[in-house]
Amino acid sequence: MYKKTAAQLRHSVHQSIENYPYNEASSAQATLQASCKNSLNFVQRLDILQTLYVHNGCVNTVNWNASGTHIVSGSDDNHLVITEAKSGRVALKSKTQHKRHIFSARFMPHSNDQAVVSCSGEGLVIHTEFQIPYSSEKCTKTTDYIVGEDSRIVNVFDCHTFGSTFDVLPIPDAPRSFLSCGEDATVRCFDLRQSSSCSKSMCQKHILIMAPCAVTAMDVAPFNHNNVAIGCSDSIIRLYDRRMLANTGSASLSSGSTIPIKAFPIPMEYTRRHYRPTCVKFNVNESELLVSYSMEQIYLFDLKHPGYNDAGLLKSGCYTPKMRREDDPDPQMPRLRFRGDWSDTGPNSQAIAEQGFNRPNVGQARPPLEPGVLSRLSDEIFRMLNSPSRQMRQTSQATESNTDTTLNRNSNSSLPIRAQNTIYGNMINESDVANISVKSGCLEITEDAKDTQNENKDAITAGDGERFPIRNFNYVKMAFSGHRNSRTMVKGACFWGDDFIMSGSDCGHIFVWNRQTGKVVKTLLADNRVVNRVQPHPTLPYLLSSGIDYNVKVWAPIASDPHFDEAETAGLIKSNEIMLVETRDTITVPAQIMIRILASLHQYRRLMHEAGSEARSRQEGLSGNGAESPNSDI
């Protein structure tokens, strides 16, 4: 077991209580609070304190106010709910103008917790200021705490060009300003003193940062609020100083992107795919950055490292899906998953190779397909998609070997080839299919990943003398693995005191790692499907979690004894590792797309059958003509 250092022993809970009377009140209390979170005993005693049933949909965001007395949460039901943390009573509930999932909701600073800013899947950013005090009495019915239109002031900003907005952050020292980041590759800064709303689809006014690609996560430094870290869908983390961002045109790359002060790529020499950051988080003294990647691990970056030149990273091409090393294995055959199928999530999920035919239908609205049916269908579809010409060559060769008469090959194969081009073109070019990766949150499968880029064997030199690909990732202080982050667009991670890291997982558990060793020290079963968010209390050892379940859970060290089952955790980690590999090569598709694919396959087989019948008829006709020709010469 990990042993504490002398400094950590001095700051243990016991020592903090002993020294409490001899220290100043403020520092003594802060020391005691910090020691509670740094206690492994307390971490391993975490258990559910209460469950808040305040939503009618998946809860994608949950946050404390600055004092830790109230909780704000947002859900797929498009409601914001403010709950009193101690009693669990709903203080107020507000129906928003959001039409899709609320991805982020936070209290605005210095607003007496009466203002909340939120963002959602359709790109809206909304500032809501409530004009009524929170209810202090227990509500007898649901409508008692619903806020009416006349009891709130709403500021709507609909100027993100397209796609989702993933996060919204208040600026701590500017109580009327907040940032948002989105799929349109921008970070926008809204100041209510200058603009109360915006609905211009191509608005340039509020753009603070122009990134090369979608900005999927961000954080503002806790002390120097000018420092902003963003995570982009090209797997690169970029850091900016807001004081240097007067406008996007004054400091930008040739592509139009704003130049960061430094950048950190995912610690890989090359990437065969993009790993989308789902969370970036500064530590308390701004010396480290916690980064969680979809389909990958969680990393702790050292911000004292000078970082890399963003232009050099982009120019090198090392962080595009087309690049791969020669020793990389060939990509796996992609598999299909129906949208809405959560059978690979939760504590009872299993890898495809481990699935049995008597698996119970836990937590599913309808019985699942027989295990393996969809995967076998996926194999068949992609096998046909990837090698139609080979199949046609085999068909042509078989036809030629069965006849002594030379036939016009084009006349026999033109119909099937046209049929293939038409059918596969229809399947691949459907607009719905083109948007699959964006809508489902899955990463794209690059078709030309098999093409090895031999010209990139040698390292590439950037303008500043940096060498790419990077082979020494000395800015990575620690990597944390064992969880699974692949199924949802949002997946939070956080610091728990000075000694621990926490994250949700697709297996329905919260994982807790030792910050110094990277070892898992605790797992908590927190959801029947996926844990999306984990949020520590500002001071006390309380934890919020939310996910696919329609509730918010509050955790505290209330168990009588610490508990950690290493054998059970080892099995969970192994299962997550296998399923993470499987998920990397899985595409989520709507049911209607699968219906179209099946219809196209049926049409393809029918045309192939007709073409084969026509070829046989021609062959028989030519054979008959060949037999009669000697008689005609006589």
| Closest C-alpha to 594, from 400, 422, 436, 384 | 436
pLDDT of 78? 96
Of 284-288, 314-318, 437-441, 472-476, which range is least confident?
437-441
- Is residue 303 scored above 50 in pLDDT? yes
pLDDT in tens, 570-594: 999 999 999 998 887 777 777 777 7
Q: How far is CA 184 from CA 123, 210, 232, in A?
A: 9, 9, 11
pLDDT of 246? 58
For strand 509-514 and strand 500-504, is the pairing parallel, antiparallel, or unpaired?
antiparallel
- pLDDT band of residue 380 (cuts 50, 70, 90) is low
- Is residue 327 scored above 80 in pLDDT? no
- pLDDT band of residue 500 (cuts 50, 70, 90) is very high
Taking phi over 0 as left and psi of -120 to 50 as alpha, with beta for the rest, 286 belongs to: left
Of 78-82, 183-187, 441-445, 558-562, which range is least confident?
441-445
116-123 mean pLDDT:
97
| Closest C-alpha to 509, from 548, 538, 539, 537 | 548
**Single pTM value for the model:** 0.77
pLDDT of 146? 67
Average pLDDT, the chain: 78
Q: How far is CA 65 from CA 4, 83, 102, 325, in A?
A: 32, 10, 18, 47
Q: Which is more confidently placed, 415 or 267? A: 267
pLDDT in tens, 144-198: 456 666 689 999 999 999 999 999 999 998 889 999 999 999 999 999 999 999 9
Q: Are 184 and 216 in contact (CB under 8 A)?
A: no
Distance CA 77, CA 93 (A): 11
Q: How far is CA 381 from CA 378, 424, 445, 591, in A?
A: 5, 10, 15, 15
